[in-house]
Every structure is written in structure tokens, then in C-alpha cells.
Amino acid sequence: MKDILYAPWRDEYITSKKIVGCVFCHISTHEKEDEELHVLYRDEHCFIVMNKFPYTPGHFMIIPHSHTDKLEALDSAVWLHMSSLAQKCVRLLKEGFNAQGVNIGMNLGRAGGAGIAEHIHMHLVPRWERDTNFITAIADTRVYSTDFEKIYRKIKSLMPKYIDV
């Protein structure tokens, strides 16, 4: 007989409505659904959204509104704006969320490891000393130590302090 691991908190993943087309374009154009979509911030150039499948608690992404898979084609003003937001968000994660470090990254193209390759996005992943454990190494499984919604509300409440909203 096989062991069964129940994860009822994943029910939303199975039962929630599916987004057709580019998920980031959907989030970009559905401002009235920001709470449901876990948007932390938006302006005329880009938006910041929680990663629905985070590496660590507090993992979010900065995403341009313009749909492109080519960083080299992105308007330079938008890229500079994203970079400025990244600096402010690193400060937010370190000072407001007590992260001891932050990974920043972009996976460009499917071959580059992008899960959503058709729309570029920048990951900000807060890190802490010893924040990985054996289960990550041997079972390709992550342990998420706190409630996703609680983390979303905490980071969203910090945004005005670190980013001019």
C-alpha cells in the first residue's frame, strides 16, 4: 500500500479559475482583481506581484506591463524603472521583512529556465541563513513556513513606506 500525503491547502490550485493566455498580461489588465491576484504595487510601467509558487516566503516579481520575451527589446526607461523598484524592494525585504539576503534574477527564454517565457519578469527572493533543509535537497519539495495570505498582507502594507505610491 502506498502512503498518501494530503495537502488540502493546494485545493485552490486545482479548483481556481484558469487564466487563458499570458498570465502576466491578465494581471496587468485586471487592476480590479489586484487583491485576488496578489498584486503588491502597480504604476504606468510595471507591477509587482507575489509569486504564486514561491521559493521562500515573500518571493515576488517585478513585471513590465508591455508583453515581451526580449529584455533587449524592452524600453530603456521601463528597464531603469524596474531596476529602481528592485533597489527599493531589496530595502523593503531587508528592513521591513527581516531578510538576511535577497536573490534577484531573470530567467530569459524557456532554455534559460523561464516558467513563463513569453513575458519577462524579475524575481526577488528573500533569503535567511539556513532557510533550506533536507527535504528540499532529497525530495525536490519546499516547506513554506508561513501563511501565503499573511505574507502578502505584510509586504503590501510595507510598500508605501519603501515605494512612493
Residues marked as catalytic: 121
Instruction: Give the H or E element holding residue 101.
Output: strand 101-105
Q: Which amino acid is at 19?
A: I
Q: In Å, how far from its chain's centre is CA 15?
A: 21
Q: Which of 127, 128, 122, 121 is nearest to 104 (CA)?
A: 122
Rounded to the nearest 5°, which phi and psi values hold at 135?
-65, -35
CB 60 within 8 A of CB 40: yes
Instruction: Give the H or E element holding residue 47.
Output: strand 46-50
